[in-house]
Amino acid sequence: MGPVVNPSPGQRWTFADYAALAVLVAAAGVLFFSGLSWRSLWGSEGRWAVIAREMMLSGNYFLPTINGVVYFDKPLLSYWAIVPFSLFSGVTEMSARIPNVLAGMGTVAIVFAIGRGLFGLTPGLYAGLVLLTTAMFGFWSRTASAEILNVLAIWSMLWVLQGRGPGRPFHRYLFFYLIAAVSSFCKGPLAPAVAVAAVIAVNCVEMVWDIRQDGFGRTRRKVTEHFDWILSQKGILAAVCGLALFALLLFLPVIMTGSREAVELMWRENVVRFLEPFDHVEPFYIYFKHIPVFLIPWTFLGIGALIHMKRWGGGPERRWLATVTIAIFLFFTLSGSRRSYYILPLIPAFALIIGRSLAGFLERERENGSPAMKTALVVTAFIPVIAGVALVAGYFGFEAYRHFSEVIAGPVIVAAGVAALFFIVRRMFVPGSTLLVLLFFGILLWTFTAGTLIGERGRGLKPFAHQVASRIEEVSRESVAMYGVGNSSFLFYLDRKSPLRALSDLREVCSFAGGSGRHLVTEEAFIWGIEKECGPRAFERVLSESPGGGKKRRNDLVLLVAPKGP
């Protein structure tokens, strides 16, 4: 699995390094781009797609709107990132997701560079392979949002300041602060806050280590050396440049629109939410539940790798990685606002830990006797076997989700999984581990292509929106409205050039029903209230997101039409 050449950390990059990087980036590109447009928008993806489209239609790139209503929920750059990929074909599912795909590929490259810088070529390569085959990282790298842009920014900042600093060139400090400034306008100042917290934690740990080794002599000089990124002349100058760019990006929307909403958003969404969360409140221990899920299929190997860290030996490399991992975890745990995907920046840290532990287990004599790593590899090898059996069972047991690829891929995955398990049990760890990586890559590739097509069979929003668009094409603007619809993806697929009228309460709905031929889009959850308030004959159900007698969900959309008079 590992290349023969394994240069020491810190050496100049060789052809082997660049070749490994090219393989990782190419593999990530194949995996993340495959079937990218086959899945219809889901969840909050619609917001990014609609806002980018309305920016392009209006020509106003400083005032994000959804259905013509100002929507300052996130800073502007994550919306702007979609625009260059939409110039020729308009905003599509693919163009809305491309920024995150590129960010995912960039994060894989950064993780390789960090792993190589800390431990050498082979651990860096393993870390990159683990990261790109981690299911949730791949999923979010193919999702229109600001999440992976945030992850890329955090790890880029950590990479730029990797290693001790008085000898760093000025451009490293400058890149650190410029990345901090720009990333503040993707998802707010979260990325620089996390990166700075991790850097401070590393500096403090190294300070304590130096004091333990050398005593308190020359403490002032040690502080300056460790915190050079903010205390040296180069660091201060770079920080001023970063602050200038931050101020420009912060106040430019205010200057262009005359509205202070962008500044208020920055304060509310990042400072207030961290200290006094007003939503997404979960228990402080919730990330202990989410992390194992977000590491699938490498969860068990992640546990084994953590146990194996004690065999690495001492050194600043292990301290750096352990400190960064703990700092990121504590940052999100101490925040009162918690959601599962907030922990995404921790996945690259675990990929680095797994990559280093796996490389040591496979290639270093004093580490290859680790029972934790062997047990973790054996358990991990069962995952593709189970996945292959599930594919075959799905083909024969669930007719609605039957696809010919299941009976082709399933047996192949089972056979390859059994082979990987055989190799690992027989202590042939290198071919066994190589086969596992290839299997997980193949399973994800199937999931993002054929699996996506299968999953789309049960989703009716896109065809429903297209049917609605066809029915209301010749209807006047005043005769079409929506009530209680919060689904931005519906607005995206409706693809109207002008905003759709939004009714605010049932009184308006009943008044709207007074005109014959009026079309109203609403959710199943509001049907009972409309019928009670306006009468059972005020509207007729014409279209539903769950047609054919399928099970109705509360948030399924429905098209109602006011009957024409006699």
160 part of a folded domain: yes
Q: Tell me the per-residue pLDDT of 283-324, one tens digit each, with 9 for 90 and over.
A: 778 899 999 999 999 999 999 999 999 989 878 899 999 999
Least confident of 184-188, 212-216, 561-565: 212-216
Q: What is the pLDDT of residues 407-452, one digit of tens each?
A: 999 999 999 999 999 999 999 999 999 999 999 999 999 999 999 9
Band of residue 217 on the pLDDT scale cut at 50, 70, 90: low
Same domain assignment for residues 483 and 434: no
Report angle CA 45, 49, 50 to the nearest 5 degrees: 115
Q: pLDDT at position 4, please?
A: 34
CATH code (residue 534): 3.40.190
Domain boundary among 432, 456, 480: 456
Residues 475 and 390 in one domain: no
Looking at the structure, tell me whether residues 383 and 452 fall in a common domain.
Answer: yes
Question: In angstroms, what CA-CA distances link 307 with 354, 357, 361, 429?
Answer: 10, 9, 12, 18
Give me the chain's average pLDDT, please: 89
553 or 379, which is more confident? 379
Q: Are 472 and 499 members of one domain? A: yes
Q: Which residue bears the tokens 């007719």?
A: 399
- Separation CA 566–CA 343 (nearest Å): 60
Residue 337, H or E segment: none
Q: Are residues 467 and 399 in the same domain?
A: no
Q: Which of 168-172, 357-361, 381-385 has the lowest mean pLDDT?
A: 168-172
427 and 479 co-located in one domain: no
377 and 470 inside one domain: no
Q: Answer yes or no: is 364 within a domain.
A: no
Strands 519-523, 480-483: pairing kind: parallel
Q: Which of 268, 265, 272 is nearest to 335 (CA)?
A: 272
Structure tokens at 227: 């915190």
Q: Does 286 map to a domain? A: no
CB atoms within 10 A of CB 272: 13
Same domain for 267 and 157 = yes
Q: Can you tell me the distance from the alpha carbon of 520 to that of 497, in angstroms, rounded to the nearest whole number?
A: 18
Residue 151 token pair: 């992850």
Exposure string over 166-178, b if 16+ CB within 10 A, otherwise e: eebeeebbbbbbb
Q: Per residue in 493-523, pLDDT tens?
A: 999 888 999 999 999 999 998 877 899 999 9
Same domain, 241 and 181: yes
Q: Are 117 and 10 in contact (CB under 8 A)?
A: yes
Domain end among 276, 309, 335:
276
Q: How confident is the model at residue 547 (pLDDT cuts 50, 70, 90)?
A: low
In a domain, 384, yes or no: yes
In the numeric block, the tokens 């047991």 are attached to 397
Instruction: Specify whether 436 is located in the same domain as 471.
Output: no
Question: Which range of residues forms the domain containing residue 212?
Answer: 153-276
How much is the pLDDT for 2?
35
pLDDT confidence of 365, banded at 50, 70, 90?
A: low
Same domain for 505 and 404? no
Last residue of a domain, one of 423, 456, 489: 456
Residues 444 and 476 in one domain: no
> Which range (83-97, 209-223, 346-360) has the least confidence?
209-223
Q: For residue 431, is it within any domain?
A: yes
Does residue 120 sit within a domain?
no
Give the burial string for 452-474 (b: 16+ CB within 10 Å, else e). Answer: bebeeeeebbbebbebbeeebee
- How does residue 3 score in pLDDT terms, banded at 50, 70 and 90? very low
Q: How many residues in total does the chain contain? A: 566
Rounded distance between C-alpha atoms, residue 58 and residue 36, angstroms:
27
In sequence order, the 6+-apart residues with CB closer than 8 A to the CB of 465 are 489, 490, 492, 493, 494
For 36-57, write each residue's pLDDT tens digit. 999 999 989 999 999 999 999 9
The better pLDDT of the pair 8, 220 is held by: 220
Q: What is the mean pLDDT of residues 527-536?
A: 92
Determine, yes or no, domain membership for 14: no
Give the global pTM: 0.93
Query: Is residue 73 domain-resident?
Result: no
pLDDT tens, residue by residue, 248-276 = 988 888 888 777 766 676 666 656 655 56
Give the closest residue to 129 by CA, choosing from 34, 23, 36: 23
Residue with tokens 């029915």: 471
Mean pLDDT to the nearest integer, 537-545: 90
Q: Tell me if 307 sits within 8 A of 361, measured CB to CB.
A: no
| pLDDT (mean) for 6-28 | 85
* Confidence (pLDDT) at 5: 36
**How many domains, the chain?**
3
Q: Measuring CA to CA, how many Å separate 294 from each of 115, 138, 142, 298, 329?
A: 20, 10, 15, 9, 13
Q: How far apart are CA 196 and CA 176, in angstroms?
A: 10
Most confident of 16-25, 311-320, 332-341: 16-25
